[in-house]
A and B are shown apart, each in its own frame.
Chain A
C-alpha cells in the first residue's frame, strides 16, 4: 500500500495540452507552440519511443517525383477506394492535398529521405497506391519522422512530461479543461490544466492477442474521449496487417513491412504458388494484373501494366492469406510464405529493407536474402476513432481535439499503407493550429474544479488497497483471447454476442483488481489502469461490428458477406457512453461534392 503523500499532486497550466508524443502529438505541439500558445506535452514513454518508430514503409504524398502522372486527385481517389468509400471525403481530400508540403517541411527540419537520381525525394510502391508514392528512408521511415519531430520539438517552447500515464480528462460543464495522470517513474499524481486538449494517443491493438502494436496501444485516447462524452465512429474497422511475423511465438504479430511487397516480394503458399492471383475481388479487377508476367513488368512500367495482386489493399491480402491457411496450404507455423529472396539480390534487400533483414536474423534466425519469411495477419491499426471535424480535428466535446490513429474518419473502412504517417503530419499540424486558436480565443482560463481530482486519485489507487482480487494481467489476457477468437478477421453475430457477454463479465471482475508492491514504475499498476480503457474500446469494437450487418474493408461478416451500398454505404456507426452504457446510432456519411465524385466515374484502370 503506497504512502499517504500520493494524494498530493503537482499542477501545470497550459493553453494547449497534447497527450501522446508520437508523430501526430509532436507535430500538433510544434504547430500550437508557433502561435505563441503555451504548450504541454505528456507521453506515456520516453520522448522518441512512441509506436510511430515502428512504421517502416514510408509516408504517402503525391509529389510525383517518380511518376509525373501522380497528383492529389489520384491519391485522394486511391485513399477513398482503399477505404471502401466510407472515408470522410474532406479529410481524404485535405490529406492528399497537403501531404507533399508536410513532407518537404520535414526535410527542412532535417529528415533525410532516400533520393531519386536527380536528387529529389524517392518514392516507393505500396498496396492500393496507383503510383510509387511513399517517401521513405529504407524501412525505418517512422524512426526518421519521430527523430526529426523530436529534435524540432526540443527547440520549441513545449514543456514535455515523459512517462506520464493520463487516467482521465478533466471537465468543467461540457468543456474539457485538462487531464490528470501519474508519473510512472515516481508514482505521483500530476494535474495538467489546459484550455484545449489534443488527444494523440495512437491505437488499440492490445485488445487483440496477436498485434503489431507495442504495449502502449491500449486505446487510451479512445477511452478518455468516450468517458468525457465525445463520440467515437466506425470502431468495427480494425485493420489486420497481412504480414506479421509468425515465428518465434514471442515475436508473433511483429510487423513485416508492406515495403517487402512494394519492392518486389511475393506471397506463396506451401505449394510454392503465388496465390494472390486467385483472390482479386471484382472491385479491384480492372486495375490489377491477372498474370505473373504483367505483375512483374509493372515494377518498371506502371503506365502500361497493372499492379500485381500482392499490392492490393491490406484487407484483401489479409483475407486471402487467411483463406489459404484454412485450405491447408499454409506454412509450418500457421501463415504463408513471403518471398523476396528469389526476387531481388541480397545486396538490394539489405539496402532497401535493412531493419527487416535485422529483425528476422536476430529474432527468428532467418536470413531473408536466401529464405522466405513466414507471415500471417496481425492486428495493426484501428480505422475507427474519435469523431472529429475535418478541418480542425475538433471532437464533439468543446475543448477536445483528436489526431492520428485515435481519431476516426480519414481512412474509412480500410487504411492504405503509407497514409498513416502522412495523416499524422497533415492533421497534426491542423489540430495544433486549431486547438491553439481556440485556446487563445477564450476569454479566461477554465478553472478545474478541485473536487473532481480526489475521487479519480482514489479510484486509480484502489487496486493497491485490495489484498485479494483479480490479476490485471490475467484480465487483459482473457480479453485478448475473447477478441482474437470471437471478433477477429471473420465475424458472425452469435460469436459477437458471446464476446459482449464475456466483456460484461470481465468488466464486473475488473472492479476488483488487486495489485501488489510500490507505485514506482509498477507495470501491474499500468495494466490495472489500462484494463478499463481496453474493455470499453473492445466493447465499442464489438458493438459496432455486431451492428454493421455487411462486410466492408476491415470488417468481414460471415453472416453478411456482401457489401451493402444502399444503407451501410451511407452511414457511420456512432458510439457514445452515458453512465455505464455504450449506445450506438447511425449518422449519415458526409456527401462529397460533384467535382470529386466525378473522379470516380472516370476510373477504369
Chain B
C-alpha cells in the first residue's frame, strides 16, 4: 500500500488559466412574450470562454432567472441558438474573443419564433412541420438478408443527417422571418432536407418533391441561400436539397408531356383500383 502522502489525488488539476481576463459589456434581451427590453450587464470573462459561459455567469451571479435554453455545450444538440450581435449563432460555439474587442455584445432571442421568456423561444412550429413530412418507407428487408447500400450513394444524405436542428436556417429564412402569415403554408429549409430524403434515400419507395411543393411550400423559396450560410454544420441546404427538388418539380410537374403522362397513369391506376 502506498503512503497517503505519495498517493495521486483525484483528477489532475489543470494549470489554472482561468484567471479573469477582463469584462464584457453585455446587452441581453429580457422579457416575456408580450413586452421586453435590452438590459445592460457587465460580466467577467475568462480565457477561451464562449457566449454561453458568460450567460451562465450572469445567471449564477446577477440574474438568477435569466432564461436560456441549452444542453450539450458542444455544438452537437442545437439548443442554444440565439442572435448574437444581430446574427444567428450557437452561443456554445461563439468564443468571446472572436467578437469585436471593446464593443458591447448584444444577445437576443431568435426573431422568427415567439419569445417565451428572455432568450428562449417557442420553436414548436419546426416540430409541427417536421411531423408533416411523410414517414420514410424503405424497400422491405428480406428475412435473413441485410440492406446493401454503397457509401457513395448515401454520402449525400449523410450530409443532411448532420443537421442538429438548431433551427437557425428556419430563423433566417426570409419567407417566414418577417412573415408569420407564411408559416402555415411553408415548411422551411430544415424540413426540406427531410423531404429531399424521401427521394434521395437509395432504398426509398417514395418521392419527396411533389409533397414538398404541394404541402411544404417549396415554391416560396427563391434560393437566396441564407439558410446554407447560417448552417453551423455547413450543410449545403440550397444547393444539395432545395435546388434538386425544384429541378425535379420542373421536370415532373411543369413539363407538359410528363404532366399528361402523370394524368394518364393516375387514370389507369384508378381504373385498376376499380377492377379489383
Q: A47 to B197: give the CA distance in the assembly, Å.
A: 20
- CB of B59 closer than 8 Å to a CB of A: yes
- CB of B271 closer than 8 Å to a CB of A: no
Q: Using known A-B contacts A54-B76, A112-B161, A254-B74, determine if residue A520 contacts B117 with beta carbons closer than 8 Å.
A: yes
Contact across chains for B146 and A326 when beta carbons are under 8 A apart: no
Give 1 or 0 for each of A47-85: 1 = CB within 8 Å of chain B CB. 111110110000000000000000000000000000000
Which of the listed residues B2, B11, B131, B165 has the most CB atoms from chain A within 10 Å of its own CB?
Answer: B11
> Across the interface, which residues of B come within 8 angstroms of A252, CB to CB?
14
Contact across chains for B158 and A523 when beta carbons are under 8 A apart: no
Contact across chains for B17 and A155 when beta carbons are under 8 A apart: no
CB-contacts of A513-571 with B (<8 A):
515-518, 520-525, 558-559, 561
> Across the interface, which residues of A come within 8 angstroms of B165, CB to CB?
48-49, 147
Give 1 or 0 for each of A92-124: 1 = CB within 8 Å of chain B CB. 000000000000100111101011001111000
Give 1 or 0 for each of A249-277: 1 = CB within 8 Å of chain B CB. 11110110000000000000000000000
The one of B2, B10, B149 in contact with A488, judged by C-beta atoms closer than 8 angstroms, is B10
Contact across chains for B8 and A323 when beta carbons are under 8 A apart: yes
- CB of A31 closer than 8 Å to a CB of B: no
Contact across chains for A333 and B17 when beta carbons are under 8 A apart: yes
- CB of B50 closer than 8 Å to a CB of A: yes
Contact across chains for A363 and B120 when beta carbons are under 8 A apart: no
Give 1 or 0 for each of B131-142: 1 = CB within 8 Å of chain A CB. 100011010010
- CB of A174 closer than 8 Å to a CB of B: no
B135 nearest CB neighbor, chain A only: A155
> Across the interface, which residues of B come within 8 angstroms of A119, CB to CB?
148-150
- CB of A144 closer than 8 Å to a CB of B: yes
Give 1 or 0 for each of B176-190: 1 = CB within 8 Å of chain A CB. 000000000000000
> Across the interface, which residues of A come within 8 angstroms of B53, CB to CB?
250
Contact across chains for A251 and B48 when beta carbons are under 8 A apart: yes
- CB of A151 closer than 8 Å to a CB of B: yes
A212 nearest CB neighbor, chain B only: B74
Q: How far is the CB of B48 from chain A (nearest CB, A)?
A: 2
Q: Using known A-B contacts A49-B79, A143-B76, A214-B72, determine if residue A185 contacts B116 with beta carbons closer than 8 Å.
A: yes
Contact across chains for B158 and A517 when beta carbons are under 8 A apart: no
Q: How far is the CB of B165 from chain A (nearest CB, A)?
A: 6
Contact across chains for B73 and A516 when beta carbons are under 8 A apart: no
* Contacts between the two chains (Cβ within 8 Å), count: 217
Q: Using known A-B contacts A110-B136, A110-B138, A248-B47, determine if residue A335 contacts B75 with beta carbons closer than 8 Å.
A: no
- CB of A45 closer than 8 Å to a CB of B: yes
> Across the interface, which residues of A come within 8 angstroms of B201, CB to CB?
110, 112
Contact across chains for B14 and A333 when beta carbons are under 8 A apart: yes
Contact size range, A: 35 or more
Q: A120 to B120: give the CA distance in the assembly, Å.
A: 42
- CB of A396 closer than 8 Å to a CB of B: no
B73 nearest CB neighbor, chain A only: A214
- CB of A473 closer than 8 Å to a CB of B: yes
- CB of B12 closer than 8 Å to a CB of A: yes
- CB of B25 closer than 8 Å to a CB of A: no
- CB of A377 closer than 8 Å to a CB of B: yes
- CB of A355 closer than 8 Å to a CB of B: yes
> Across the interface, which residues of B come within 8 angstroms of A249, CB to CB?
14, 17-18, 46-49
Q: Using known A-B contacts A154-B130, A248-B48, A558-B2, determine if residue A362 contacts B75 with beta carbons closer than 8 Å.
A: yes
> Across the interface, which residues of A come within 8 angstroms of B47, CB to CB?
248-249
> Across the interface, which residues of B come within 8 angstroms of A517, CB to CB?
64-65
Q: How far is the CB of A357 from chain B (nearest CB, A)?
A: 12
CB-contacts of A366-410 with B (<8 A):
376-377
> Across the interface, which residues of B come within 8 angstroms of A518, CB to CB?
65, 117
> Across the interface, which residues of B come within 8 angstroms of A13, CB to CB?
none
Q: A363 to B161: give the CA distance in the assembly, Å.
A: 23
Q: A212 to B43: give the CA distance in the assembly, Å.
A: 26
Contact across chains for A332 and B150 when beta carbons are under 8 A apart: no
Give 1 or 0 for each of A119-140: 1 = CB within 8 Å of chain B CB. 1110000000000000001101
> Across the interface, which residues of A come within 8 angstroms of B131, CB to CB?
154-155
Q: A274 to B116: give the CA distance in the assembly, Å.
A: 52
Contact across chains for A485 and B9 when beta carbons are under 8 A apart: yes
B149 nearest CB neighbor, chain A only: A119
Contact across chains for B15 and A333 when beta carbons are under 8 A apart: yes
- CB of A308 closer than 8 Å to a CB of B: no
- CB of B218 closer than 8 Å to a CB of A: no
- CB of B4 closer than 8 Å to a CB of A: yes
The one of A140, A322, A362, A471 in contact with B95, judged by C-beta atoms closer than 8 angstroms, is A362
CB-contacts of B94-112 with A (<8 A):
95
Q: A471 to B64: give the CA distance in the assembly, Å.
A: 10
Q: A138 to B148: give the CA distance in the assembly, Å.
A: 18
Contact across chains for A522 and B67 when beta carbons are under 8 A apart: yes
Contact across chains for A490 and B120 when beta carbons are under 8 A apart: no
- CB of A330 closer than 8 Å to a CB of B: yes
Contact across chains for B154 and A363 when beta carbons are under 8 A apart: no
- CB of B226 closer than 8 Å to a CB of A: no
Q: A489 to B50: give the CA distance in the assembly, Å.
A: 29
Contact across chains for A137 and B65 when beta carbons are under 8 A apart: no
- CB of A453 closer than 8 Å to a CB of B: no
- CB of B41 closer than 8 Å to a CB of A: no
- CB of B77 closer than 8 Å to a CB of A: yes
CB-contacts of B1-30 with A (<8 A):
1-2, 4, 7-15, 17-18
> Across the interface, which residues of A come within 8 angstroms of B10, CB to CB?
484-486, 488-490
Contact across chains for B141 and A330 when beta carbons are under 8 A apart: no
The one of B1, B15, B117, B158 in contact with A112, judged by C-beta atoms closer than 8 angstroms, is B158
The one of B1, B50, B138, B148 in contact with A558, judged by C-beta atoms closer than 8 angstroms, is B1
Q: Using known A-B contacts A137-B161, A558-B7, determine if residue A115 contacts B116 with beta carbons closer than 8 Å.
A: no
> Across the interface, which residues of A come within 8 angstroms of B73, CB to CB?
214-215, 251, 254
- CB of A237 closer than 8 Å to a CB of B: no
Q: How far is the CB of A499 from chain B (nearest CB, A)?
A: 11
> Across the interface, which residues of A come within 8 angstroms of B68, CB to CB?
521, 523
> Across the interface, which residues of B come within 8 angstroms of A446, CB to CB?
none
- Ranked 7 nearest A-B pairs via Cβ: A248-B48, A517-B65, A488-B10, A119-B148, A521-B67, A334-B14, A325-B12
Q: Can you identify 9 A-B contacts, CB atoms within 8 angstroms? A: A45-B71, A51-B72, A119-B148, A119-B149, A143-B164, A151-B135, A515-B65, A518-B65, A523-B67
Question: B residues bordering A, Cβ < 8 Å?
Answer: 1-2, 4, 7-15, 17-18, 32, 46-50, 53, 59-60, 64-79, 93, 95, 116-118, 120, 122-123, 127, 130-131, 135-136, 138, 141, 146-151, 154, 157-158, 161-165, 194, 197, 201
19 extra A-B contacts, CB within 8 A, seeds A322-B11, A516-B64: A49-B72, A110-B138, A112-B201, A115-B154, A120-B148, A151-B130, A214-B71, A248-B48, A249-B49, A251-B74, A254-B74, A376-B11, A485-B10, A488-B10, A494-B4, A517-B65, A520-B32, A524-B65, A559-B1
